[in-house]
Structure 1
Amino acid sequence: MQLQLVQQIKILTMKKIKTIYKALIILIFFSACSEENNLDFLDAIPAPSNVSATYNISQDNTGLVTISPTGESTVEFDVYFGDTTLESVKVKAGQSTSHVYAEGTYNVKVVAYNLKGDTAEITKPLIVSFKAPENLEVVLENDLAVSKQVNVKATADFATMFDFYSGESGVTQPVASGNIGETISYQYQEAGEYDIKVVAKGGAIETTEYIATFEVTEILAPIVSAPTQPNRNESDVISIYSSAYTDVTGTNYFPDWGQGGQGSSWAEFDLNGDKMLQYINLSYQGIALQDGTSVDISTMEFLHMDVWTSGGTTDLETSLINNASGTVTESPVTRSLTAGEWTRIEIPISEYVDQGLTVTEIFQMKFVGTPSAEGTVFIDNIYFYKVPAQTGAPILFDDFEGNGNITTWAGDAAGLNTAFANPFIDANNESATVLEYNDTGGQYANIRFDNASNFDLSGGNSTFKLKIYVPSSSISGSQPNQISLKLQDGTAAEPWALQTEVVKAISLDTWQEITFDFANDVTVGEPDPVNRTDFNRVVIQVNSENNTDTVIAYIDDFSYGNTIVDTPPFATDDFEGNGTITTWAGDSCGMDNMFANPYIDTNNQSATVLEYNDTGGQYANIRFDVSPNFDLTAKAKFTLKIYVPSSSISGSQPNQISLKLQDGTAAEPWALQTEIVKSLALDTWQEITFDFANDVTIGEPDPINRTDFNRVVLQVNSENNNDTVIAYIDDFNYHN
């Protein structure tokens, strides 16, 4: 009975402690302040995370164990020893507690508290033995991603912890300690061979040692490729060196302006088939276009480069060199590099122009490393580009960089910043500023805006789009990773009562574009939203509602509808019964345009897709015809999603898809065809765009001015072979 009473008291104490923390904070706050007070700062305090504990056992057969709890966003811990001791011990952050154990195995529980009383807990095993450790096994590995870092794991019977001695001179040893069975990491200052030692400890006076010579390695070259580059119109990019675009032909990537004889050199580094430039012991080196060739970058907006260094080069100076009628001028711009990872460099062309440089005849580039000739750099994706011109404006939009027509953004129990510096700039989102959505635990946290006039979802304007990035480190709790967009009547007393919403799953730690289509997506709430005329509010909610979990999201490029009026022919098909294409046919190729999607994920959540099944037809393809004929001066782009499982492929054909335009009324439609071929990645959904105005074409030239095209042919992995391949195709669209 006494034990049960103690346990009940402990439970009640746990329930009340959060309230006590908040009360103390409020009391202190109001006692210290005489002006208007605001407790909103409490909502910004993150929940405790990464809670752990390390053990240090006294080697004197006493069973004395020192427990050091750790965690992020913590101020205090409760440590439950796991033996017959009923009460926990409170430990301030950064401090330790000690406890005497009898021999045995225990489960130690650590409960962490933040400043406002939120909790997180872990349970860790503890072995206390007065026998010397036996069967010591040590695993030492060079970290695959961090240069000169060694990961050490030790296991042993009758051991509680282990010490790691690095073998370095002039360094206090041991350099690190850890719990037995767990992995610790240590980063050396220099690569090389070291005589290391691992000492396993238990409660006994006697210890057990492991001694070995281990070679610590330095990562001197990238182990992952530079980020994938976005699709760009050919007219919007001038590529010097990038597999993503068409490079200027005849370019010399090592003209060697006298530095080769001083120890500098170059190579084309091959990372599993991905090639990049390698400048070794970089003092200064350059790139020269073919004699008599120059590029006019006056209409471009940025110079892009991806640069990797192991650390010898801290800064890279990049000069553009112009040759205007024989007068050679150059201007430099310097950017810092981050060692051991790809540095994304974006230099506005204006930084060169503002120095007085003319950029109409760029014929050379120069790279200067700092410190000189002490480091190697790897460079990929060197190109000039501009943001594509809009072909039509959305009805509502906001890029959170000062361009947009949404002025009523508001947060409801969620922090909101519409001019937040983009913390995850990459090839999928190069915006400098985004909207920050910060749900610190509001039960119905969301953000919203109201429109001056009600939405008209008919006539094809039923779609909302946005980009979103949710860092996994920002999430607490177990809510589904999702985003919902709700439409409401903001003038109603209870706007949510008759709302309609679309919910989409999201991936973590990546930018992705999400589309909410109230005409075609599955909706929740009131039915038939397209025919509603009272919607004037948009509500965005990340990771569900009616909970107090936390999440941070970054949102960009919000848009609704489009003012562009489409013109015939119309050629769309989502293979879920919505589309205009009725003439799909297979030519020596199996085809099912209502096939259950076998690879549903966040990149394609469609239930049904088109299955393309080439069982060995020599010229296998699928096709459809349209009426009237295509007018490529009005619309020149075809877009689709495709998934090709590697397990379906036989033979050695290139992984590619081609889209061919033909005159289907001709006796030999292929005779005067024009096609675009695009490479494919395997085992992933990807979106491919075929742009007959800007992409490289094969076959009859000048497709834009052809007026006889009325057939589309799709062909996967080439033709004139008997190899097999299965592909899944979705969301075909002909557009501008």
Structure 2
Amino acid sequence: MKNLKYILSLLLVITAFVSCVQEDDIPDVSTLPAPTNVAAVITIAQDNSGLVTITPTGENVANFRVNYGDGSGEDSGVLNPGESAQHTYQEGSYEIVIAASSINGKTTTVAQTIVVSFQAPENLIVTIENDAAISKQVNVMATADFAISFEVNFGDPAETVMMSNIDEIVSFTYVDAGVYTITVTAFSGSVDTISYSEDFEVTEILAPLVAAPTAPARQPEDVISIYSAAYTDIAGTDFYPDWGQQTVFEEVDVAGDLVIKYGNLNYQGIQYGEIIDASAMETLHIDVWTADATQVEIYPISAASGEQQVTKTLNPSEWNSFDIPLSDFTDQGLTINDLIQFKFVGSGTIFLDNIYYYKAPSTAGGTTCEVLQDFEGAAPAFTSFGNIADTQAVANPDMSGVNTTANVAQFTKTAGSEVWAGTFFDLASVLDLSSCNQISIKTWSPKLGATVRFKIENSADNSQFYETDLTTTTINEWETLVFDVSAASAFNYDRIVIFFDFGVAGDDSLYYFDEVELVSSGGSTGGGSLGFEDFEGTAPTFVTFGNMADIQVIPNPDMSGINTTGNVAEFSKTGGSEVWAGGFFDTATPLDLTTYNKISIKTWSPKNGAVVRLKIENSADDSQFFEVDMSTTTTNTWEELEFDVSSAQAFNYDRVVMFFDFGVAGDDSVYYYDELELKN
């Protein structure tokens, strides 16, 4: 519940924000949402006069107007945040209407009931509870007959007093845990009040209640994991070696996820199960939670060069996620091709999870030259052989990891089928292997180490072929296999043949494959890409502004060139919409700008030279943003625009805002965009 102290603080924040925004250009204002959490704090004079004070509250609000709801036709006039209005009522129940407007003109209207009584409050019932999720926060609710509001004195050294509407909740966070005398007083329009006091023990949350942030999906060759459920950890690692420390070790379950707990920390070691060569890695990741530690010193230890440390400040009662460049250690002289241990130094109690070294995703085969088949459009004609069931395009049964597209190919190796059973489909044109000599395929297998044989063939002469084998490295998850065809003879290859679990008779196992691409060789030199929205699964929630129509996901109207996927986002810049009209959607997790520094977007525009503005933003604080412009270079065809975000500040960007034909008023032009990816 909002309180009067909070309102005064909010006024200062909004005033400062509005001043800042007015110095920026209009688009920064337009992206603000409509006001939210609109309500009012109601108090009444205790003299039977019926004089009620109404203080509107809300977020993203520039001003309020209150209709008093008593049939008088009067209203408050314009109120700035933090201002109050007063109105005299007769006894009775009234429904006031609060209209809140943001600085870009968006309005939210809510109704709120108030009961005016000149009878003294009766039957006061007070509920005082420690918050289940926020350490040292106490929530108070009061209800009483004839009361309109209540006041809470929290009994802390500052004698904090907060006012709230009756039947609502007011919350306060103490500096220290302990026993405090909390007094609640209920008010009506009468001079008489009713109070309740209780000596209440405020408790501190000493362990995390939610699991650490989920580690991102990375290829095994890009990670060396010490402790993380997301990856395969180094076997035999000792998390509590006997170094004479006072620290107490325990592995605890947090919301279904095991984490390390080091209590009474002074220093603590981790002894790796083997010597680690992290010279190919770039970053150390670690998640830390604490209730009482202020910082932690992190030391990787080398067999040859000893130890070097980085000190990290900790925010209490939340997971602190750190991505520490390994250069922070190597610049101090640490060698990282012979790492043997970690050491942590600090005080209090810390919880650790997701401890791993990683590098930017490997470029699996380098640059994509041509998408041969992604099963999003019309499915190819499959021909199966060796007594297996027909291969068919189906909805992706596991939209996760490296493959979140909508459709995939399902390969059923029927029980009793031949060890060489497989399937093929023909391409529309002959493979061009002159400059691109690898075939990348995303595969899903229920078996680890199953042989996947890949074959390219001339459909007019099946004696002209080339084949090569790879084996699966994961179970029940997507991985990318890259088949090297650089040694293939110069034939006209226009047929793709694939065999799963080659050499083993069928046993009714199901396999899937997708995203068959011709790629150039590139090795694992860093770089790579990470797709974060392709509009093939569940569509994101779009929010538009500037008087334009909604953005929506539709079937791709031009499946050609570099974009033959099934679905795209349609952006209609409605006639008469603002020059800064646009729309946004939120991502499931913040964009990883530590690993990547570009955002690639496939766009389709009816205009050459139209400005496309990309803006990334923190959905929790829209003053934290970065934006960059590019211009279209084609008309009525797909092109790929790469926006450089390397100079963006280190905020949690989880909102993507798009503006097409920025700076020009809407004229009913239709634009499309698709395949949003992070890149290096």
Is the pair's TM-score, using the shorter chain for normalization, greater than 0.5? yes
**Equivalent of 1:578, from 368, 372, 379?**
379
2:356 aligned with 1:376: no
Q: 2:329 aligns with which of 317, 337, 352?
A: 352
Matching of residues 310-389 of structure 1 within 5 Å: 310=291, 312-324=292-304, 328-369=305-346, 373=347, 375-389=348-362
Task: Return the letter of the residue paired with 1:203.
Answer: G
Could you tell me how far 1:301 is from its partner in structure 2? 0.6
- Among residues 153, 158, 163, which one is paired with 1:171 in the alignment? 158
Quick one: structure 1 residues 308 and 103, their matched pair in 2 at CA, closer, same or farther if it must change by over 3 Å? Answer: same
Match runs of 1:388-403 below 5 Å: 388-391=361-364
Partner of 2:40: 53
The 8 Å contact of residues 386 and 422 in structure 2, kept in 1 or not, is answered as no
Q: Deviations over 1:53-103 (max 9, x none)?
A: 101112222212111123345454322211133222233332222222111
The amino acid of 1:247's aligned partner reads D
What CA distance in whole angstroms lies between the structure 2 residues aligned with 1:226 and 1:210?
Answer: 40
Offset, 1:380: 0.8
Please state how far the C-alpha of 1:136 moved relative to its aligned partner.
3.9
Contact conserved, 2:443 with 2:512, CA < 8 A, in 1? no
Aligned pairs for 1:280-319 within 5 A: 280-290=263-273, 293-310=274-291, 312-319=292-299
From the superposition, tell whether residues 184 and 619 of structure 1 become closer, same or farther in structure 2 (CA, over 3 Å): farther
Aligned CA distance change for structure 1 residues 213 and 234 (closer, same or farther; 3 Å): same
Partner of 1:513: none
Cα 1:599–1:120, aligned 2, differ >3 Å: closer, same or farther?
Answer: farther
Aligned to 2:81: 93
The separation in 1 between residues aligned to 2:113 and 2:233, in whole angstroms, is: 58
Give the drift of 1:52: 2.5
Identity fraction in percent: 38
For the residues of structure 1 that align with 2:398 and 2:324, how far apart are their CA atoms?
39
1:313 Cα offset (Å): 1.4
Q: Which deviations, in whole Å up to 9, do the C-alpha atoms of 1:213-236 show, x marking residues without a partner?
A: 544322211111111112222222
**Match of residue 142, structure 1, among 125, 130, 137:** 130
Normalised to the residue count of structure 2, the TM-score between the two structures is 0.57
Q: Where do residues 268-279 of structure 1 align in structure 2 (5 Å cutoff)?
A: 268-279=251-262
Give the Å deviation of 1:593.
5.4
Q: Structure 1 unaligned segments of length 5 or more: list them.
A: 1-28, 30-37, 395-561, 643-655, 665-671, 680-687, 695-708
SS of alignment partner, residue 340 of structure 1: coil
Q: Deviation of residue 391 (structure 1)?
A: 3.8
Task: Give secondary structure in 2 for the equivalent of 1:389.
Answer: coil
Q: Deviations over 1:315-349 (max 9, x none)?
A: 2211121112xxx4221112222222111111111
Q: Aligned in 2, Cα 1:259/1:176: closer, same or farther, shift over 3 Å?
A: same
Report if aligned partners of 1:160, 1:201 keep a CA contact under 8 Å in 2.
yes
Q: Provide the rounded CA distance (Å) in 1 between the counterparts of 2:385 and 2:48.
A: 81
* CA distance in 2 between partners of 1:294 and 1:237 (Å): 15
- Counterparts of 1:134 and 1:571, CA distance in 2: 74
Structure 1 SS opposite 2:190: coil
Q: Distance in 1 between matches of 2:254 and 2:286?
A: 17
How far 1:211 moved relative to its partner? 4.4
Q: State the Cα distance separating 1:135 from its structure 2 match.
A: 4.5
Alpha carbons 2:375, 2:393 under 8 Å: kept: no
C-alpha separation in 2, matches of 1:123 and 1:318: 54
On the 8 A contact 2:130/2:136 being kept in 1, the answer is yes
> What is the deviation of 1:377?
1.0
The residue aligned with 2:423 is 626
How many residue pairs get aligned? The number is 453
Kept in 2, the 8 Å contact 1:573–1:730? The answer is no
Q: Distance in 2 between matches of 1:731 and 1:104?
A: 69
2:478 aligns with 689
- For residues 393-442 of structure 1, the C-alpha deviation after alignment (integer angstroms, 9 at most, x for no partner) is 55xxxxxxxxxxxxxxxxxxxxxxxxxxxxxxxxxxxxxxxxxxxxxxxx
Distance in 2 (CA, whole Å) between partners of 1:392 and 1:192 is 60
Q: Distance in 2 between matches of 1:94 and 1:571?
A: 60
Partner of residue 112, structure 1? 100
Cα displacement string for residues 350-376 of structure 1 (whole angstroms, at most 9, x for unaligned residues): 11111122222111111122xxx2x21
In 1, are the aligned partners of 2:387 and 2:416 still within 8 Å (CA)?
no
Report the residue type matching 1:124 in the other structure. Answer: Q
Give the 3-state SS of the residue equivalent to 1:235 in structure 2: helix
Counterparts of 2:107 and 2:245, CA distance in 1? 60
Deviation at 1:49, TM superposition (A): 4.2
User: Closer, same or farther in 2 for the Cα pair 1:605/1:329, shift >3 Å?
Assistant: closer
Cα–Cα, structure 1 residues 354 and 658, in superposed 2: closer, same or farther, change >3 Å? closer
Task: State how far apart, in whole Å, the 2-side matches of 1:637 and 1:596 are.
Answer: 17
TM-superposed deviation, 1:386: 0.9
Q: Distance in 1 between matches of 2:93 and 2:391?
A: 60
Counterpart Cα distance in 2 of 1:381 and 1:100:
60
8 Å Cα contact 2:308-2:332 kept in structure 1: yes
The answer to whether structure 1 residue 189 and structure 2 residue 175 are counterparts is yes
* Alignment check: 8 A CA contact 2:297 2:310 kept: yes
Question: What secondary structure, in the 3-state scheme, does the structure 1 residue paired with 2:475 have?
Answer: strand
Unaligned runs of 5+ in 2: 1-18, 426-436, 455-468, 484-496, 520-680
Give the letter for the 1:376 counterpart.
T
Is 2:253–2:259's contact at 8 Å kept on the other side of the alignment?
Answer: yes
**RMSD over aligned Cα, in angstroms?**
4.6
**Runs of 4+ residues deviating >6 angstroms:** 584-587, 594-601, 608-613, 617-620, 656-659
Question: In 2, Cα distance between the equivalents of 1:119 and 1:277?
Answer: 48
